[in-house]
Amino acid sequence: MIEPTYVTRPFLPPLEELQPYLERIWANRLLTNKGPFHEEFEQALCDYLGVEHISLFANGTLALVTALQAMRITGDVITTPYSFVATAHSLLWNGIRPVFVDIDPETLNLDPDKIEAAITPQTTAILPVHVYGRPCDTARIQSIADIYGLRVIYDAAHAFGVEDAGGSILRHGDVSILSFHATKVFTTFEGGAVVSPDAKMKKRIDYLKNFGFADEVTVVAPGINGKMNEFQAALGLLQLKHFDAALKQRAELDRYYRETLADIPGIRCLPLPDCSRRNYAYCLIMVEPEYPLSRDELYTRLRQNNIFARRYFYPLISSFPMYRALPSANKSNLPVASASADKVLCLPIYPGLEPDRLEKVTNLIRSVIES
Ligand SMILES: *Cc1c(COP(=O)(O)O)cnc(C)c1O
């Protein structure tokens, strides 16, 4: 039996390339706490992404929780229901109340036109997500934040390597956070980072991720243990060497899907995001009413054929039990997000996806209208 085709498979460099890194770790016995690979990876990421201040983390959720702590965000924070659940969970972990605002039907990101109506005296910040690596309307969001004196924290977990006309989209807002989880475009198995605007914020975040230690005998804050270890950092350094090639493969797969599915009634690909460098982290289709099957029926049909597509992001975060009693979680407040969550299907896309598997996916989607 051949193994299923998953929506993503992590790209792993040839094993022999890892060997020298492991030998160095075994030789120097430095396993964590700002080891040499940690320092090298932090700098390499800054260079690659074109940003100045990065703090590495054990995972993206800890990065997000810590960034909110570092900025002393309290009260209410405006965010999107159309994301991975960690976005809103990071608010609850800080005793912050999420206020869900609907998304834009074209970008699937927080709709800037709907943000202002949700701002109250309790609102302190906006937490948008560059969902699927598609950039938010950063200019509009910043102008709203400036008018109302709000902070902006971008959950950029999907946006590794994405650039707009001005450079990395990670430069927007007060901070951005990245995830290097196994399912993301760039992975260190588990891992994450905070991108800070200046050395002062980076320093504060670095204290907080290491129990609040400023030096051997000084603890300046009730920090957590969010540190990235040397093995993760070595994986990151290695992965970075292959990332451009991986991106190129993803772009080709994305193009194949767009071209092959273009004429199928009721299967809609979103327009390519408006940016100068994309990461093709996800390949999603919207299953519209003209298609003979519902989204869930298509999902099941693919599964029966050993293709494990995913319904990201269904259910909406706002429908989970710890959120659904919030006034902003009401479905009538979130019509676009609710409709999108019912139509979206993410198709397999990853470097090394074999042509016959790819063809099987598109043939199956097409066979429904031809039968
Ligand atoms: C993956 C993800 C996270 C969490 O990252 P982890 O590294 O898995 O902790 C946060 N936000 C979004 C949008 C994600 O997709």
**Residue among 57, 61, 130, 188 whose CB has most ligand 1 atoms within 8 A, to mutate:** 61
User: Which has the closest alpha carbon to 167: 249, 55, 48?
Assistant: 48
The closest residue, in CA terms, to atom 6 on ligand 1 is: 60
Q: If you take atom 13 of ligand 1, which residue's CA is the nearest one?
A: 84
What local confidence, expressed as pLDDT, does residue 1 receive?
66
List, for residues 196-249, the tens digit of each pLDDT value: 999 999 999 999 999 999 999 999 999 999 999 999 999 999 999 999 999 999
What per-residue confidence (pLDDT) applies to 359?
Answer: 97
How is 185-250 classified by DSSP, letter by letter?
Answer: SS-SSS-EEEEESSHHHHHHHHHHHBTTEEETTEE-S---B-PPPHHHHHHHHHHHHHHHHHHHHH
For the stretch 234-263, pLDDT in tens is: 999 999 999 999 999 999 999 999 999 999
pLDDT in tens, 41-60: 999 999 999 999 999 999 99
Residue 25, pLDDT above cutoff 80? yes
- pTM, two decimals, is 0.98
264 Cβ below 6 A of ligand 1: no
Q: What does the block give as tokens for 298?
A: 């298509």
Residue 6: the pLDDT is 95
Output the six-digit token pair for 369: 């209208």
pLDDT in tens, 164-175: 999 999 999 999
Q: Is 186 in the pocket of ligand 1 (CB under 6 A)?
A: no
How far is Cα 206 from Cα 57, in angstroms, rounded to an integer? Answer: 9
Task: Say if residue 65 is exposed, middle or buried (CB neighbours under 10 Å; 0-12, 13-18, 19+).
Answer: buried
Percent of the chain with pLDDT over 90: 98
Q: State the average pLDDT over residues 181-197.
A: 97
Q: Which residue has the tokens 């309790």?
A: 122
- For the segment 58-69, what is each residue's pLDDT rounded down to a tens digit? 999 999 999 999
Residue 185 has pLDDT above 90, yes or no: yes
Name the burial class of residue 148, with classes exposed (0-12), middle (13-18) and buried (19+) by CB atoms within 10 angstroms of its CB. middle
The chain-wide mean pLDDT, for the chain, equals 97
Q: Which residue has the higher pLDDT, 337 or 370?
A: 337
Residue 67 C-alpha to ligand 1 middle, in angstroms? 14
Q: Which of 64, 68, 87, 176, when mutated, tests ligand 1's pocket best, judged by the most ligand atoms within 8 Å of its CB?
A: 87
Mean pLDDT of 88-116: 98
For residue 346, the model assigns a pLDDT of 98
Q: Is the CB of 181 under 6 A from ligand 1?
A: yes
Instruction: Locate the ligand 1 atom nearest the alpha carbon of residue 129 and give its number.
Output: 13
- The phi and psi torsions of 19 (rounded to 5 degrees) equal -50, -50
Domains of the chain: 15-102+110-238 (3.40.640.10), 243-370 (3.90.1150.10)
d(CA 190, CA 187): 7
Token pair, residue 58, equals 């054990």
Of ligand 1's atoms, which has the minimum distance to the CA of residue 64?
10
Residue 191 alpha carbon, nearest atom of ligand 1: 7
Q: What distance in angstroms lies between residue 26's CA and the mean position of ligand 1's atoms?
A: 30
Residues in a beta bridge with 285? 269, 345
129 CB within 6 A, ligand 1: yes
The amino acid at residue 47 is D
